[in-house]
Amino acid sequence: MTSQVSMNSAEPGELTYTADEMMTVAAARALRDGMTCFVGIGLPSAAANLARAIHAPGLVLIYESGTIGAKPAELPLSIGDGILAETADAVVSVPEIFNYWLQPGRIDVGFLSAAQIDKFGNINTTVIGGDYGNPRVRLPGAGGAPEIAASCREVIVVVRQSTRSFVERVDFVTSVGHGHGGDSRTKLGLKTKGPTRLITDLALWEPDPVTKEMTVVSIHPGVTRAQIQENTGWSVKFAARVAETPAPTSNELEVLHELHARTNRAHSEAA
Amino acid sequence: MAEIVSLAEAVERAIHDGDAVAMEGFTHLIPFAAGHEVIRQRRRDLTLIRMTPDLIYDQLIGAGCARRLIFSWGGNPGVGSLHRFRDAVEHGWPTALEIEEHSHAGMANRYVAGASGLPFAVLRGYNGTGLETLSTGHGTAPTIKPITCPFTGETLTAVAAIQPDVAVIHAQRADRSGNVQFWGIAGVQKEAVLASQRSVVTVEEIVESLDPRPGAVVLPGWTVSYVAHVPGGAHPSYALGYSVRDNDYYVAWDAIGRDRDAFSRWLEQHVYAVGAGQL
């Protein structure tokens, strides 16, 4: 499923939207007003800024470049675009953002993406295939993710599903989710919740309270259980009661379209 | 006291084959012009250190300057892969590249330890990650180890200090005595300069005296080796107050970096054919 494909077959008067828009809206809804949020570039940044525009005007956006309380009018291409520094409440150095702000656990939620994720929400952004010294694919690496996964009070992971990205066991653990499940995090000395939500183009997942295996709790409109299984590299567990994710509303879509339009305008003016 | 010299002279005097070089700047203030001068002077066997290799190290790696890379995130921000970096790791082109990788928090703390004159720094991090195990398994000295807090008994993580031979940064301004001032996203440049034996700072302008700026970092001239006046020296990165990030360049780099021939042509036209003074 690509991001260009409409998720639902439009009936007259029904809204159409892309898989990416469904993911972005679902991620935005997970953020509450007044939260502090460690944001990465791309979809997480779009989601956080959508939330700020709709229901969470007091959401505090923190980018790893050291910009705290950034209020960008359009989406940055990098985590260090000038608009983040210019609109921030405070700009601090990189050692400071990790040591004083992230490490003590004062940030509510961290957004992460993944090249590979496993059934316990462990994340790989390092290497795929082969061995470490001779990988089939060399990915960018860790960045801020290991400590975001360890130190934010909770983590939301946003990733598109496929059997390549959703694997039984990741090739390399770049960032720890729920380890081998159960009380893995506690045993590692981690005091935070880890991934509490996994948002994909097909469904919303949450860790089972005991086993910590990621479990489907809500299916996006028009998506079947079979589709979810076909795009997952392990045998999928569904919660006892599975909801249907509410489709994006016209307001959510309008604000998101406007955000992207402003971003495109700003980037073409700068060029 | 910093000497104010040309970029070519600064690179020639500060950076030698086999050196460990940290060119820092976190998205903002990346010293691209200095990196290109290192390519032009055909330095070899460098250990390149940088949290986010970015296009600058993609270019240096593709040009064959590096033997080793110490880093924490090697992508083209908001765009995708660094293809020259990947080609070196996956296929050894143009030369094999050893890598030592960390998380951002680990790298930042390694610089802090280096700047503090300590052998290591302590953080909560790496628990349960593959990075922790890697650090001991690949023939080099481990740079991540557990350490017990002497006060509470808690197990924490120690990371080895980074003390490069040379730090290279770009700043907004310097004065005639070589005092350096930069502001906006300040990254880890102060730590990188203070951790290094020598340093090269390129600046947008040289002024008579530095007036105070909110949030600015000042590196006194006696902590800096060489200052070179290189306006636009951070392009396609940017210098807040002087230029904006050239996002189109980052997007366009994907196609150039992806192809060895396109990259070699780029190198010829945009680096070797250009003099240090004509940026």
**How many whole angstroms separate alpha carbon B276 and alpha carbon B279?**
7
B247 with A77: Cβ contact below 8 A = yes
**pLDDT at residue number A167:** 98
Measured in angstroms, the CA of B217 and the nearest CA of chain A are apart by 10
A252 is catalytic: no
**How many whole angstroms separate alpha carbon B68 and alpha carbon B70?**
7
For the ranges A7-11, A74-78, B137-141, which has the lowest average pLDDT? Answer: A7-11
**pLDDT at residue number B112:** 98
pLDDT tens-digit series, residues A20-49: 999 999 999 999 999 999 998 788 899 999
**How many whole angstroms separate alpha carbon A24 and alpha carbon A19?**
9
A98 with B108: Cβ contact below 8 A = yes
SS3 B254: helix
In chain B, pLDDT over 70 holds for what percent of residues? 96
Tokens of A142: 């860790």
| Mean pLDDT of all residues belonging to chain B | 95
| Distance from chain centroid for Cα A50 | 14
**How many whole angstroms separate alpha carbon A14 and alpha carbon A215?**
29
The yes-or-no verdict on residue B135 having pLDDT over 80 is no
Which chain B residue's Cα is nearest to A40? B78
In chain A, pLDDT over 70 holds for what percent of residues? 94
User: CATH number for the B3-102+163-272 domain, one of 1.10.3470.10, 3.40.50.720, 3.40.120.10, 3.40.1080.10?
Assistant: 3.40.1080.10
The yes-or-no verdict on residue B178 having pLDDT over 70 is yes
pLDDT tens-digit series, residues B254-278: 999 999 999 999 999 999 998 765 5
Q: Find which of A98, A112, A185 to mutate to test the B interface (most B CBs within 10 Å of its CB).
A: A98
**Interval A153-159 mean pLDDT:** 97
| Mean pLDDT of all residues belonging to chain A | 93
Measured in angstroms, the CA of A138 and the nearest CA of chain B are apart by 6
Indicate the pLDDT class of residue B78, thresholds 50, 70 and 90: confident
- From chain A, the residues in CB contact with B102 under 8 A are 142
Number of A–B residue contacts, CB under 8 Å: 180
**pLDDT at residue number A114:** 93
pLDDT tens-digit series, residues A202-221: 999 999 999 999 999 999 99
**pLDDT at residue number A13:** 61
pLDDT tens-digit series, residues B226-258: 999 999 999 999 999 999 999 999 999 999 999
- From chain B, the residues in CB contact with A178 under 8 A are none
**pLDDT at residue number A12:** 56
Indicate the pLDDT class of residue A271, thresholds 50, 70 and 90: low
User: CATH number for the A19-270 domain, one of 3.40.1080.10, 2.102.10.10, 2.40.30.20, 3.40.50.300?
Assistant: 3.40.1080.10
End-to-end CA distance of chain A: 32
Q: Find which of A127, A138, A263 to mutate to test the B interface (most B CBs within 10 Å of its CB).
A: A138
**pLDDT at residue number A4:** 42
Tokens of A52: 């700020």
Report whether B58 contacts B84 (CB < 8 A).
Answer: yes
**pLDDT at residue number A81:** 87
Query: Most confidently modeled of A3-17, A134-148, A227-241?
Result: A227-241
A95 with B154: Cβ contact below 8 A = no
Indicate the pLDDT class of residue A6, thresholds 50, 70 and 90: very low
For the ranges A121-125, A212-216, B214-218, which has the lowest average pLDDT? Answer: B214-218
- Of B146, B144, B186, which is closest to residue B169 (Cα–Cα)? B186
pLDDT tens-digit series, residues A125-146: 999 998 898 899 999 999 999 9
- From chain A, the residues in CB contact with B57 under 8 A are none
Report the residue from B125, B188, B238 with minimal CB separation from A150. B125
Of the residues A11, A21, A64, A213, only one is catalytic, namely: A64
B245 part of contact set with chain A, CB < 8 Å:
yes
SS3 A154: strand
The yes-or-no verdict on residue A235 having pLDDT over 90 is yes
**pLDDT at residue number A250:** 97
Q: What share of chain A is helix, strand, coil (3-state, %, to 5)?
A: 30, 25, 50
Indicate the pLDDT class of residue A2, thresholds 50, 70 and 90: very low
- From chain B, the residues in CB contact with A80 under 8 A are 26-28, 77, 185, 245
**pLDDT at residue number B279:** 47
- From chain B, the residues in CB contact with A86 under 8 A are 240
Task: Please count the other Cβ atoms lying within 10 Å of the Cβ belonging to residue A250.
Answer: 10
- Structural domain boundaries in chain B: 3-102+163-272, 120-160
The yes-or-no verdict on residue A3 having pLDDT over 70 is no
